[in-house]
Chain A
Amino acid sequence: EDQVTQSPEALRLQEGESSSLNCSYTVSGLRGLFWYRQDPGKGPEFLFTLYSAGEEKEKERLKATLTKKESFLHITAPKPEDSATYLCAVLKTGANNLFFGTGTRLTVIP
Chain B
Amino acid sequence: KAGVTQTPRYLIKTRGQQVTLSCSPISGHRSVSWYQQTPGQGLQFLFEYFSETQRNKGNFPGRFSGRQFSNSRSEMNVSTLELGDSALYLCASSRDHSYNEQFFGPGTRLTVL
Contact = CB atoms under 8 A, between A and B. Distances in A.
Interface of A: 32, 34, 36, 41-46, 49, 87, 89, 91, 95-103
Interface residues of B, number: 24
A97 B4 contact: no
Interface in B16-41: 33, 35
Given A46-B101, A91-B99, 18 more contacts: A32-B100, A34-B99, A34-B102, A42-B107, A43-B104, A43-B106, A44-B43, A45-B104, A46-B102, A46-B103, A46-B104, A49-B100, A87-B42, A97-B33, A97-B56, A97-B58, A100-B43, A100-B44
A103 B101 contact: no
Contacts of B103: 46
A34 B44 CA distance: 15
Interface string B85-113: 00000101000011111111111000000
What 5 pairs across the A-B complex have the smallest Cβ distances? A43-B104, A96-B56, A100-B43, A97-B45, A102-B42
Contacts of B90: 43-44
A45 B97 CA distance: 18
A36 B92 CA distance: 12
B104 A101 contact: no
A98 B98 contact: no
Contact of A98 (B45, B105, B106): B45
B4 A43 contact: yes
B42 A98 contact: no
A87 B56 CA distance: 22
